[in-house]
Amino acid sequence: MHLVSCGSGDPVLFIHGMPTSSYLWKGVIQRLCGSFKCFAVDLPGMGETPGRPYDANFLRHLAEQLDQIRIENNIEKWHVVGHDAGSVIAVHYARYFPQHVDHLALLSPALFPELKPFFLLEALRKPILGEILAPLIGQIFWKIAMRRALESSEQTSAILDDFYRPFSGFAGSWHFMRVLRWGKPSSVLAEVPGFLPSLRMPTLIFQGSRDPAIPEAFARRASELIPNARMIILDSGHFIPLNQSEPVAARLARFFVEGSSRPGEVACA
């Protein structure tokens, strides 16, 4: 699993979602590495990490891989931060290794089985049809949908190039299809609501007020189910770490020091 690290101080693990990479966290990490030791991974099949076959225990295996990084870096406890599907991995890590999680932060938390993936991508999940449509859907997704979702800025092209790199080339569209075929939310996320109340660590949940992918109800539900959680609403679309890197970094820095003293609180920024 490809790993990017910088800084010194209390350790923080950053987990991106699909189909992005550790580059998602660049702006946040740049602002935190003066006070924290930051680690950002590329998940299997994305960024610079090779793909791996999916299986029924994929999330458990990912959690174990992440914990191996903790062991190799002589870390007793670290803060864990996840975005989108990275939030799913973050809560599973906290479920299996709660003794090693200091604080937990979830951005655009795609945690519940009612999640509805982007309609174009659903076609890629269907055998034969997905293979046929993969090149066309891939082009529409990367050239139109992702560019709009990133809320165009001077860095949009560089960000898109990084996210798209593993899916470029002749076979890239079919690699993208295989990554997206990892489980249906209705089954993969079925257990999540049941174990969220067992996560006792202080938790901070970020939700974008203009997020078209993750409903605000998901963030509110997560903040109600996790006992020591509070929620922050930011003026952002789906890619909060990119659109609001400065306020996210500032909020995280305060949270890691102060903890969560007012569970369930909703703040707007």
Q: Can you give the residue range of the structural domain that contains 72?
A: 3-116+185-268
Kindly state whether residue 206 falls inside one of the protein's structural domains.
Answer: yes
Cβ 14 vs Cβ 41: under 8 Å: yes
Kindly state whether residue 12 falls inside one of the protein's structural domains.
Answer: yes
Kindly state whether residue 236 falls inside one of the protein's structural domains.
Answer: yes
Q: Please compute the mean of the pLDDT values over residues 4-26 and round it to a whole number.
A: 96
Please enumerate in sequence order all residues whose Cβ is within 8 A of that of 181, keeping only pairs 6 or more positions apart, or say none.
Answer: 54, 124, 125, 130
Number of domains in the chain: 1
Kindly state whether residue 255 falls inside one of the protein's structural domains.
Answer: yes
pLDDT the model gives residue 259: 62
CATH number at residue 53: 3.40.50.1820
Token pair for 138: 């891939």
261 pLDDT exceeds 80?
no
CA 267/CA 89 separation, integer angstroms:
25
Kindly state whether residue 140 falls inside one of the protein's structural domains.
Answer: no
Kindly state whether residue 136 falls inside one of the protein's structural domains.
Answer: no
Percent of the chain residues topping a pLDDT of 70: 95
Kindly state whether residue 222 falls inside one of the protein's structural domains.
Answer: yes
Q: What is the pLDDT of residues 228-260, one digit of tens each?
A: 999 999 999 999 999 999 999 999 999 999 864
